Chain A
Amino acid sequence: MTELLNALLLQSGYNAALVAVSAAMLGIAAGSSGTFLFLRKRALLSDAVAHATLPGVGVAFIVMVMLGGEGRDLIGLLAGSAISAFAGLLAVEWITKHTRLAEDAAIGAVLSVFFGFGIVLLTIIQTMSSGKQAGLESFLLGSTAGMLFQDALVIAIGGTLAVVATYTFRRPMTLVAFDADFAAASGRNVERIDLAIMGLVMAVTVIGLKLVGLILIVAMLIIPSVAARFWTNHTNNLIWIAGAFGGVSAYVGTAISAAAPSIPTGPVIVLICFAIFAFSMMFAPNRGVVAALAARRIFQIRVHRRQGLLAIARDEAIHDGLTLKVLTRAGFIRPDGVPTAEGRTQAAKALRDEKRWEVARAMNRDVAVIGRYDGLTPIETVLTNDEIAEIDRRINARAPLGGAG
């Protein structure tokens, strides 16, 4: 436990601290840039981009070895992966645009074929004399164990740049992600902004390869923004809440993995992301499951209370169990079912309200106001005193004519 605390407080060595900080930067970048993908309803495109990085890693390694280098230079490998990820992205766009295949088929085809080809390259590299110890498999699932100082630095700087880019371009990207047609109508170049979004996602994917691996970086792009969506309806807040979720899970995950080296970093980060998501889905105000259930229950009780009061006013017998319970608890009826004085008063009030609404709706005036009739809202909260007085006048005027009409 103390080890975990040390890792969380950056006290377990300079290297570990740098890895944790760079992971946090990556998490913030992934969470915030993933928001645009999520809003654009293209979350799974990141899956294709991530899998498409693998052949680039392989080709870069082979090229670097052929040029006489060592082949394990992180920047070189990342550059290669960026190129092939971009090729994958273009392939998805091209298939969707020029053939009748839908985007999901294009995504699946690109991710499996690029990944398969990447595996072929990896097996070639394994047979190369310099490839035995290449450790390129670590790009599949990521690893922080034995990460070099320069590697951590690359991730930290890359993550910071991605966050800065997200901040700089957040307005046009939000506009396109939220309403592409409107963005096009207001003269924005939607295609280019889309490309910028994908470029950002690609950059985050490439930077995250070493840390969480290409299969799980998808989770860091998708889950934080989905979790953040439960907490806010404002796009701007969404971006930064998602960034915070991503940053926290990456930071804590790296710390856990540093304290207990047998626990792999990538999966822990993803599972923390998911825990945040699950908590958000259950307990977020307004959009959470618990809040929705509570709202439903409150509405149900209001309906039963109203219908019960109307039944009292009309001297009808009440049989429904929940209605009886609600009325008893409010003190409107005695346990034996006989209305109390307070119950009678409230019942008369409810009946009068119902009558007023009836007249108001018959008068068929402002739809915006009349449309708020749901059998629950007191008319006093919707109409002014003068209007209610007018309605009462009509009720009284109509009453003598009731027999004739």
Chain B
Amino acid sequence: MGADFVQLSLTPLLMGVLASVACALPGNFLILRRQALIGDAISHVVLPGIVVAFLLTGAISTWPMMLGAAGAAVAAVVMIEAIKRLGRIEPGAAMGVSFTTLFAFGVLLLEQSDTSTVHLDVEHALYGNLESLIWFAAEDWSSLADPAALANLPPELGRIAFVTLIIIAGLALFWRPLEISTFDEAYANSIGIPTGALSFGLVVAAAIAAVAAFDAVGSIIVIAMFICPPAAARLMTNRLDRQIAWSVVFAALSAILGYVFAGYGPLWFGAENAVSAAGMIATVSGVILGLACLFAPHRSRIAAPAEAGAQS
């Protein structure tokens, strides 16, 4: 836990935790609203957005790509709504049509355009490159107080921290209306909450989290973190605030354990190379969800645990 750790592992760990938390927060509401697969759709359409942004600007620069990805997410939501309404198709199928088509379009563009000179390919889009976020300027823990070294932190870290803060702020700001409209949309409408705008805002927040996380950790973590920690948290409690707290804990735990297992786990088994950190984080989040499904106090659909115990 010395200089090596600060230089090699501190940034990826922080990055993983922040990305996981940023995705898990909006994920709580998506799960409760039965829109979990919107997260799946968004993470697929980020690819065409980024490719189009790259083709338009001709360079891998952050803001155009973020804009392109966010634009693609919004386009996907509009496309899903259009197919649902114009074609009178059920939402699941409309979603399936939209995101697979957009993803195929992204892959085709990527293969057709000359991206061989830059680091942009489908594998990277899928499982990111968490391990490469090395803080070269760091010497040891004292670098955390050294402005010159801090200025050399990988820029992805600053971005994801910024996005996480924005999402937390948005959540705090719209907490009450979000809570009401998630549990009782008709009532929320009747007291004048603009539920349509709120619902769209939630999707946009999810898209922003997805895009920022995607940048460094790839789309698998994005889908896994949208769904697994909130779903596990849902089985722990009946209160929304506690559910969100649990989901943050689970997300951070998945990120830390996943990164450690990926980096050090193979060494314990005598292998020499690390495995994919993004994949491992998703796997750990799945294990946590599995444990929650088996043992969590509020896992069953019927009643709270005390009542269930009284019956048996």
Using a CB–CB cutoff of 8 Å, the interface residues on chain A facing chain B are 38, 41-44, 46-47, 94-95, 98-102, 104-105, 107-109, 111-120, 122-124, 127, 137, 140-141, 215-216, 218-219, 222-223, 225-226, 229-230, 262-264, 266-268, 270-271, 273-274, 277, 281, 287, 289
Contacts and interface: CB of A to CB of B under 8 A. Distances in A.
B286 A109 contact: yes
Given A102-B34, A108-B40, A41 B101 contact: no
B90 A112 contact: no
B11 interface: no
Task: Determine chain B's interface SS by DSSP, over half rule.
Answer: helix
A246 B35 CA distance: 28
B282 A271 contact: no
B257 to A, nearest CB: 13
Interface in B87-140: 87-90, 92-97, 100-101, 103-105, 107-108, 111-112, 122-123, 126-127
B223 A108 contact: yes
Given A108-B36, A111-B40, A281-B87, 4 more contacts: A113-B286, A118-B279, A141-B107, A216-B103
Interface of B: 31, 34-37, 39-40, 44, 83, 86-90, 92-97, 100-101, 103-105, 107-108, 111-112, 122-123, 126-127, 220-221, 223-224, 226-228, 231, 234-235, 262, 266, 271-276, 278-283, 285-286, 289, 293, 298-301
A271 B220 contact: no
6 contacts: A108-B36, A108-B37, A113-B285, A116-B224, A127-B271, A222-B96
A273 B100 CA distance: 11
B36 A267 contact: no
Task: Determine chain A's interface SS by DSSP, over half rule.
Answer: helix
A48 to B, nearest CB: 10
B256 to A, nearest CB: 16
A396 B115 CA distance: 85
A100 B301 contact: yes
Contacts of B298: 100
B93 A222 contact: yes
Nearest to A219: B100
Q: What are the nearest 3 A-B pairs in CB distance? A: A116-B282, A113-B286, A119-B279
B88 A287 contact: yes
A222 B298 CA distance: 35
Contacts of A102: 31, 34, 36
Contacts of B86: 281, 289
Contacts of A94: 293
A94 B290 CA distance: 11
B243 to A, nearest CB: 12
Contacts of B90: 41, 43
